[in-house]
Structure 1
Amino acid sequence: MMKTPITLEFSGGAELLFDKVKKHNVELPASEKKWTIGNLLLYIKDNLLKERPELFMQGETVRPGILVLVNDADWELMGELDYEIQPNDRIVFISTLHGG
């Protein structure tokens, strides 16, 4: 089994939760089951998120107001949490919420 290299990008303010780092090149650990965005969100929460997880996640998914793109396509077209991550995917999280 091989690791899965992907690129994660956070913008629109979401990067503030990740030490202001917008782009992360990540190698997902080898796994018996396929990596999905659902598993990826838990991985991000446990390994990359630095503060205020409630601003990024709500339950098992991203908060409303966070746009998720997989290789520049809306994740809603890709199956959302069930999308199976492929090597070298680029997954972008853009916060559309801007507090006052």
Structure 2
Amino acid sequence: MSCPVTIELSGGAELLFDNKKKLEVVLPENSNPWTIKTMLPWVRDNLLKERPELFMQGETVRPGILVLVNDADWELMGELDYSLQPNDRIVFISTLHGG
């Protein structure tokens, strides 16, 4: 089943996504329910515009990127195993800043 979600980016993460701070996306039909683990490579392959190594490391987000699901820390929601629900809001906030 397809799954509409809102992805928000801040703290510099938006620079990797063509300076877009908010993306309304519909994750395509999938034989299994969408989880954050399955969403991340889809986001990398379909939305990320540059430097994927600054967004993902292995199968997860890079250290220094805070992830919120509907305003709650994703660690409270099961991290990569969280099953996305229609109209969820996923926020990626980069806490790493160059200097």
Structure 2 length-normalised TM: 0.98
Deviation for aligned residue 1:71:
0.1
1:85 match: 84
Superposed counterparts of 1:62-81, under 5 Å: 62-81=61-80
2:19 match: 20
Matches of 1:99 and 1:38, distance apart in 2: 27
Matches of 1:89 and 1:14, distance apart in 2: 19
Matches of 1:29 and 1:55, distance apart in 2: 25
SS at match of 1:87: coil
Deviation for aligned residue 1:30:
1.1
State the 4+ residue runs in structure 1 displaced beyond 6 angstroms: none
Matches of 2:3 and 2:43, distance apart in 1: 14
Matches of 1:6 and 1:34, distance apart in 2: 13
SS at match of 1:7: strand
Superposed counterparts of 1:1-40, under 5 Å: 2-40=1-39
Which residue identity is paired with 1:81? L
Deviation for aligned residue 1:3:
1.8
Q: Percent identity?
A: 76
